Amino acid sequence: QVQLVESGGGLVQPGGSLRLSCAASGSIFSSNFMGWYRQAPGKQREWVAHITSGGTTNYADSVKGRFTISRDNAKNTVYLQMNSLKPEDTAVYYCRLVLFGVDYWGKGTLVTVSS
């Protein structure tokens, strides 16, 4: 059983930056998919970005050029660097890991972008 714990959320002003971390309790080396999703108040959860075991990354158009996903297999951690944050980025951010066909989700970390 793998557990995921997100951290790094908080309150930031528009234009600011945050780095989210998602730490896995087990090895993520074999995971071909690690991603970040977010859910804003009153909206459905949406995909933000993901990274494969080979390092290929993909981003939602709404965050492309502002967010960067990365992974550190040695630390069993995936990161989301968020720059130029906008109020519409306000949401609970969730980490997702797919390992040997099993889906794992973290409990989320809240990001609030407000002046």
Distance CA 86, CA 24 (A): 28
Alpha carbon of 53 to those of 31, 39, 99: distances in Å? 6, 25, 11
Q: pLDDT of the chain along its 115 residues, tens only?
A: 889 999 999 999 999 999 999 999 877 777 779 999 999 999 999 999 999 988 899 999 999 999 999 999 889 899 999 999 999 999 999 999 998 888 999 999 999 999 9
Beta pairing partners, 18: 82
Q: Exposed e or buried b for every residue in 29-68, given b needs 16+ CB within 10 A?
A: eebeebbbbbeeeeeeeeebbbbeeeeeeebeeebeeebb
**Measuring CA to CA, which residue among 80, 107, 88 is closest to residue 19?**
80
Pairing between β-strand 109-113 and β-strand 10-12 as defined by DSSP bridges:
parallel
Sign of the dihedral through C-alpha 34, 72, 19, 69: negative
* Angle made by CA atoms 73, 2, 20, in degrees to the nearest 5: 55
